[in-house]
Amino acid sequence: MSRDGIDIRPLRAEDFDAAYALWCAMDAVVLRTDDNPGMFGKFLERNPGCCCAAWHGGLLAGAVMAGHDGRRGYLYHLAVAPEYRRQGVGRALVEQALAALHEQGISKCHVFVKHNSRTAASFWSKLGWELREDIQVNSLSMR
């Protein structure tokens, strides 16, 4: 998909370094030790076509990881470089990822947003995502 010189395409394993650098520059993206080239490649293999990148020439303008467990979809690490914000890049990435999940039979999707990220909360709200106040997320590190 191309939009105003921005090409949206599936993320590839060789995009890891560019995507990781973009994510590291974002306060709203939480990175863990699992965010490494090996796990990135496994995630892409398990979720073919779901993770997306926005390229402007040779520059990565934005990226999102998306996957599913067979029942529900999940979006992770949506990031758009500051110079490409408010141009529809984030929306285009989300729409492309959701379309890929829908093609794989997924009818509901979740996204994790940091509590203190007002910009991210506003973005998701504008896209029609609803804040869930009826649940909390509990995690267990298995390492």
CA distances from 74 to 32, 84, 110, 115 (A): 17, 24, 5, 17
Tell me the CA end-to-end span of the chain in Å, nearest whole number. 39
pTM: predicted TM-score of the whole model, two decimal places: 0.93
> Is 65 inside any structural domain?
yes
Domain-embedded: residue 85 = yes
pLDDT in tens, 63-121: 999 999 999 999 999 999 999 999 999 999 999 999 999 999 999 999 998 888 899 99
- The domain total for the chain is 1
Helices (H), the chain: 16-24, 37-46, 89-103, 118-126
For the chain, what percent of residues have pLDDT higher than 70?
98
Domain span at residue 13 reads 2-126
The verdict on residue 133 lying in a domain is: no
Let me know if residue 10 belongs to a domain: yes
**Which residue in this structure is represented by tokens 């073919």?**
48
Whether 13 is in a domain gets the answer: yes
Task: Identify whether 141 is part of a domain.
Answer: no
Is residue 143 situated within a structural domain?
no
Token reading at 109: 């999707």
CATH of the domain at 19: 3.40.630.30
34 vs 76: CA distance, rounded Å: 13
What's the Rg (C-alpha) of the chain? Answer: 15
- Residue 58 covered by a domain: yes
